[in-house]
Chains A and B, each alone.
Chain A
């Protein structure tokens, strides 16, 4: 990742503009087009969102509306009469979904990454990692759709459970009705982001020096001690990077909560969507929510940069 804002110390120049320009054509040709595009379609729009978020309750047809912190106040200020706790609820729910999924990914992903990095035969490692991560690049929309048909009350999972029950005489295994509940959202989010976690943890574990583990074992540590006192501390940056990345992406996820969640699974992404392309048409509030999301993500990234493992992030 980039260094902090560096004002490069370079030698001064005293001659005229022509010289400047001819010097600039190189970098300008290389950096110009992309830079201009990013400026126009990323930086400027984000500034615009900031601007609109400062107009309370702006609807697309409003022309003259005053600036004010009304949108943010509505979200966060309990003393504002327009305050509605439901927005905090939605934000909290997004954080909750993201946290549970992250933990699930970590708990499931670490053994997998460990096996792939340390226990799997060396020649196969790269192939296995790629194979595990491959579903990540297929459409999350379609994979969530697959889960819809598996998790429905008359879907595949219940049929499977019923089939298992048929082997155990007299016992009826409980069937699930997870679709349209939070559980389905957890399953969907974990499923979608497990490969991310495995990839990042793998990158971190791959660099682990096995001789350290062996040395610890030789010195009399039990496998558990070796794990907690040697492996984990060494891979902590990778763990941090993986967790934060999964957390960030699952907090902003739209497809899984929309398709797999039910009436009580509104997340921040869908709430923002509703403000612009849905019923409410409150562009001011939607922009404010969008800024909140960007702030939260930036905070997480700042933490990531401070504590995370840079190479793992690059790998991702």
Chain B
């Protein structure tokens, strides 16, 4: 250790008691004031005050979206290189895609301040409603969007976003059971299959790692609504979920294909998008929408208030509304498209695929997930209990 010489030693001083106390006091005061302000800052970031008219940012020089980079935050299977390259070729804008695996994760990231780079995100229907309430979305300017009239009437004025003021429907689908026909001889028909066969298929089943989908599914299997706000019903669903939990391998929203194909897993709860793309790769798999009804979801395109490149965002929206692209979407990515014109242009094989476009009677029994207001915390409590216990 280098010897301490008098040359280096600051001949320091002892702080008198009063001076020390003064410093301590002022430090505490500063800390207190800072901390009080801090929470305001967090809240501001999480739920910004609504601006009168959001026009979004404009790129320098007013070149109208012919340049720059577009950061897209989306689900795992919603874009592929083909589409991205087509977009870049058409508009010259580079696209960088980041992925999330649940609406809530996306919301959490946006609220934590990590979403400032994204100009386009893909929330599902109920999340759009929630984000509108939190003032996180910009109002879309109808003049800058072309192709909205290509959408089916059903989506022209949806419940979650009247008049499509903030969002544009991108894809819709269902949730159901994906299973390996080699492992399971009798095809599942309803959600009860999981409970009936829980011991035979122990540790070979998974459910979605999504509070509303999974809790909703259990509620449905008990005869209640996906959007029940009755705590007693939710608790009943919790109890039922706990029954089956020991036989679950895990809660997984994605990534079960390998397990299914190798035989580790027998039946999983899956979104139609993933199910159908897995089936396309290997036809030993099959997908069924349970007969008592499931959830039907719509994923949308929105522009967050913090979007840095709104022009590019509009370009991306228009690109996806193009019937040719929407058609490509369905054919390669297996998203059921809400685009009328694209639907017409699909081959009969796709149109008649009941897994992709379920018949009306079945759809009538399916529900869309809607925000449940204060009951959301009840759902969260029970979900935490289920996943943590």
Contact = CB atoms under 8 A, between A and B. Distances in A.
Whether A and B touch directly in their complex, counting CB atoms under 8 A apart, is answered as yes
B351 interface: no
Nearest to A51: B35
A266 B387 contact: yes
Contacts of A26: 8, 10
A54 to B, nearest CB: 10
B105 A180 contact: no
B247 to A, nearest CB: 9
B264 A154 contact: yes
Given A84-B381, A87-B388, A271-B388, A278 B249 contact: no
A87 B387 CA distance: 11
A12 B12 CA distance: 6
Contacts, number: 117
Contact of A13 (B11, B211, B383): B11
B104 interface: yes
Given A27-B10, A153-B263, A279 B381 contact: no
Contacts of B111: 60-61, 281
Interface in A80-96: 84, 86-87, 89-90
A279 B203 contact: no
Interface string B24-40: 00000001000100111
8 contacts: A10-B13, A20-B13, A60-B111, A61-B134, A62-B39, A63-B40, A86-B388, A179-B249
A152 B109 contact: no
Interface of A: 7-8, 10-13, 20, 23-24, 26-27, 47-48, 51-52, 55, 58-63, 65, 84, 86-87, 89-90, 152-154, 177, 179-180, 262-264, 266, 271, 274, 276-283
Interface string B251-267: 10000000100111000
Contact of B248 (A11, A179, A263): A263
Nearest to A266: B388
A269 B245 CA distance: 21
A52 B43 contact: no
A60 B384 contact: no
Interface in B236-250: 245-246, 248-250
A285 to B, nearest CB: 9
B102 interface: yes
Contacts of B264: 152-154, 179
Contacts of A177: 203
A51 B107 CA distance: 23
Contact of A61 (B10, B14, B47): B47
